[in-house]
Amino acid sequence: MLACRKSRQCAHARGIPIVIVNARLSDRSYRRFRKIRTWTPQWWGRVHLVCVQSSEDCARYIELGVPPNRLVVVGSAKYDAARPTPEIAQRLREHLVQRGFPADARFLVGGSTWPGEEEILMHAYMALRSDIPTLRLLLVPRHAERRAELVQRIRACALSLYQRSTDRSDTPTPDVALLDTTGELMAAYGLAEVVFVGKSLTRQGGQNPIEPALWGKPILCGPHMENFRTILNDFLEARAVRIVRNEEELIQAVREFFHDPALAQQFGQRAREVTEQKSGAIQRTLDALQRVLPPAIGSDRTATRTDAPNIPAQGF
């Protein structure tokens, strides 16, 4: 939005409010904006409203020159994701059973994994499979184009493989399912008994823990969840996620969840409750927009749009 100067000028000339929704400033973006904050107030002067995800984002925007009365904290719209249906997970399970996986397979799922994390998950699988005969590993890499590399690494660990993109298995009873396709992550989470959320152990940034939480699954992630800091804090406060800092901690946490179904259920239930309690960001955003948009034709609503609408920075 800030880069499109001509669009901003055109909107301002026509009296069209400029609004930023689901706004978040990553650590990287925040550092970059701070270097040029001398010039940022003139950009924000034509922005009527910024709907931010957290109080931390609100404070950062204020420091960068956004007037506090143009900020409103609405939460993350990621919590408003559509609830998954059991049918998508059941279809994937039936497909995997036809490819040699046990009908009662207990899946450890690595979702949106990055380099280095797949090896750690394979080591966990190899460490636990003697205790859990029906344990299987399901990997969903963040970048499907890494498939050749991952096939090589899986075979280097002497594990048998089913590869989704080719629909082929090494053996009649594979150890690992590699979903090197797109659009199947939610179904994979539905099959999981335990979920590891990637880009959090060997890389920085993290991935979205809300998706497995919608299924009520026990969630593990590494310590590097910078891009989901506020969401992670929601889960930590509810004791709905476990942080693992290395391979040993991951193996121990996976073992505990598999051997203690009641503990796994407690974590999963608390995770689902977080998604229910924190939902509503889209509705709060729509409510905030009503304060800056002109009334609809035939509406009795009085327009409140001004150059500085009376919208206090607030939480929820």
5-9, 29-33, 55-59: range with highest mean pLDDT: 55-59
What are the tokens at 127? 């460490």
d(CA 121, CA 250): 8
Convert the pLDDT of each residue in 202-238 to its tens digit: 988 999 999 999 999 999 999 999 999 999 999 999 9
Coil, strand or helix: which one is 178?
A: strand
What superfamily does domain 86-278 belong to in CATH?
Glycogen Phosphorylase B; (3.40.50.2000)
One-letter amino acid for residue 249 of the chain: E
**DSSP-derived pairing of the beta strands 168-169 and 161-163:** antiparallel
- The pLDDT of 30-34, averaged and rounded, is 88
pLDDT at 285 over 60: yes
Q: Is 199 left (phi over 0), alpha (psi -120 to 50) or beta?
A: left
- Mean pLDDT confidence for 11-18: 76
Q: Is the pLDDT of residue 26 over 80?
A: yes
* Tens digits of residue pLDDT in 134-188: 999 999 999 999 999 999 999 999 999 999 999 999 999 999 999 999 999 999 9
Q: What is the mean pLDDT of residues 113-131?
A: 97
Mean pLDDT of the chain: 90
Task: Find the mean pLDDT for residues 72-94.
Answer: 97
What's the rounded mean pLDDT across residues 42-58? Answer: 89
**Residue limits of CATH 3.40.50.2000 in the chain:** 86-278
